[in-house]
Amino acid sequence: MLVHSRAAIAAMIWRRAPLHRMFAVAILVPLRSVRATTLPSPLPAHRSKPVRRLVILCLGLALLSGLARSANAEGLALRQVIATALSGNKDLQAARFVAAQARARLVQAGVLPNPRLELANKNDALFKNEGEYTASIGFSQQFPVAGRIARQKDVARVDVDLALAEIREAEWKLAGDVANSFYGLVVLSRQVEARNHLIEFDQKLVDVARRRFGAAEVSEVDVNMAQLDLERVRQERALLLSDKAAQMDRLNLLMGRTTGQALTLDEALPSAETFSALPELQRRALERRPDLRSAGLKAARARADTKLALSERWEDWTVGVGVERSRSVIEGAPPQTPNNSLALSLSIPLPLADTKQGRIEETLATGSQANAQIAALRHSIGSEVASNLAEVKRLQQAMVDYQGTLIPMSERNLALVQQSYGQGQLTITEVVQAARQQSDLNVSYLNTLNLYLQALTKLRTATGEYLK
């Protein structure tokens, strides 16, 4: 009884509100018209099937893009959002000072130690006080003899390159995060829009149910069921709006903007594309990935540090030069005149006990570790690209199935149900079930679209596309 009453309400709306019926098939009719005007393909038979799939996916994305508001065309595109984030992100701005620090260390690495002023005075004032004394003044300077300063500069130069590579790596990660948030907002907007249509449809159900309840044609239970279904969809929309606000705040934070600040995005979906072969994508990833560049520079730094450790086995020699004046007293002899002399000194540390053997072994182990990390990262990048490409193709195939099979089938089924109901061959319950099935199919399609966009973002991030 309850099911048939609600079905009757839905049927009344179906007859009285043609605009709401258009919602159920709005995304489907253009596909039918496009298929009806499609020209025969001149491609060979072995290539026609993949091309048809690509055409179907392109059409589906274009149609889904048309659901966005016209104001979105004036919003920020993904490239613009990434560029804004790269210039305005506060964490990235702080990270860029690492390069200035590395350049300052390079300047310091080429400086000799400061010379030392040496003063000395000796006399017998506290003893016999005969007037004997010795006074001297001089300078001493340490000089590297094994190229230590040159090796320090080599290490500092690699540190500058490494700092720049780490900044680039931070930009790469930021671009991937921005793309994820961007497409998350795009899908959430479409999910909210789909719930708005459902709310509008269910509100009509509630209004008709209340009028029929006033005419004693349905029970209060039927009205309550329609109202509960309406409230359920409203709660779903509220959760989606909350997720959208949180995603918007996160994107504003990534862009260096204040949370809650208005942000208008170009919500057009990316066009469907054919991907290069897996070896080509892996080659691009190995060429562009900043993390692999950083790993290579860490290995280069380890090699430069090993050379520095070898040069440190011979510590700096110290050269001194000075002037000395002295006066001696000889008992029984006439007073002596003061003597002046030039003093030269050379201090050579001997590498007997400390030959920097521990530091040399440490740098060699660091280099071996860096090389192992490079090999592991290259393998990881290759596997990551392969996995992401396979996932994108699987989801792309799922979207092709939606566009080429499921959605047209739902369209035909809905038209047949409506025609059969008009001829009295089906019940209202079956009409309502068909309409609800089409609505659920639309929600399922949007969920698949979300997974596809996230997988596409992972693939483009893995291949370094966003920083190309």
Domains and CATH numbers, the chain: 2-115+148-300+378-467 (1.20.1600.10)
Q: Which residues of 195-206 are buried (b: 16+ CB within 10 A; e: fewer)?
A: bebbbebbbbbb
CA torsion, points 61, 63, 68, 70, in degrees to nearest 10? Answer: 120
Q: Provide the 3-class DSSP secondary structure of residue 147.
A: coil
Confidence of residue 434 (pLDDT cuts 50, 70, 90): low
Q: What confidence tens digit (pLDDT) does each residue in 234-265 have?
A: 998 999 999 999 999 999 999 999 988 888 99
Higher pLDDT, 1 or 132: 132
Report the percent of the chain where pLDDT is more than 90.
50
The answer to whether residues 143 and 314 touch, using CB atoms and an 8 Å cutoff, is no
* SS3 state of residue 341: strand
- Highest-pLDDT range among 33-37, 72-76, 206-210, 234-238: 234-238
Q: At what angle do helices 148-214 and 78-88 cross, to 10 degrees?
A: 130
Is pLDDT at 429 greater than 70 in this prediction?
Answer: no
H-only helix segments in 264-404: 278-288, 290-311, 357-401
Tell me whether residue 40 is exposed, middle or buried, using C-beta atoms within 10 angstroms of its C-beta: 0 to 12, 13 to 18, 19 or more. exposed
Residue 6 CA to its chain's centroid (Å)? 49
pLDDT at 20: 38
Question: Rounded to an integer, what distance in angstroms lies between the CA atom of residue 119 and that of residue 142?
Answer: 17
Residue 265 Cα distances to 171, 182, 204, 262, 345, angstroms: 21, 8, 32, 10, 75
Average pLDDT, whole number, for the chain? Answer: 81
Angstrom CA distances, 91 to 86, 182, 254, 404, stand at 10, 19, 9, 45
For position 29, what pLDDT does the model report? 33
Token digits of residue 370: 């860096």
User: Would you say 61 and 400 are in contact if contact means Cβ atoms under 8 Å apart?
Assistant: no
Per-residue confidence (pLDDT) for residue 194, from 0 to 100: 84
pTM (two decimals): 0.74
Whose CA is closest to 446, among 153, 63, 51?
63
d(CA 302, CA 363): 6
Q: What is the pLDDT of residue 146?
A: 87
Rounded Cα gap, residues 448 and 438, in angstroms: 15
pLDDT digit string (tens) for 341-382? Answer: 999 999 999 988 888 999 999 999 999 999 999 999 999 999
- The C-alpha atoms of residue 365 and residue 457 are separated, in whole angstroms, by 37
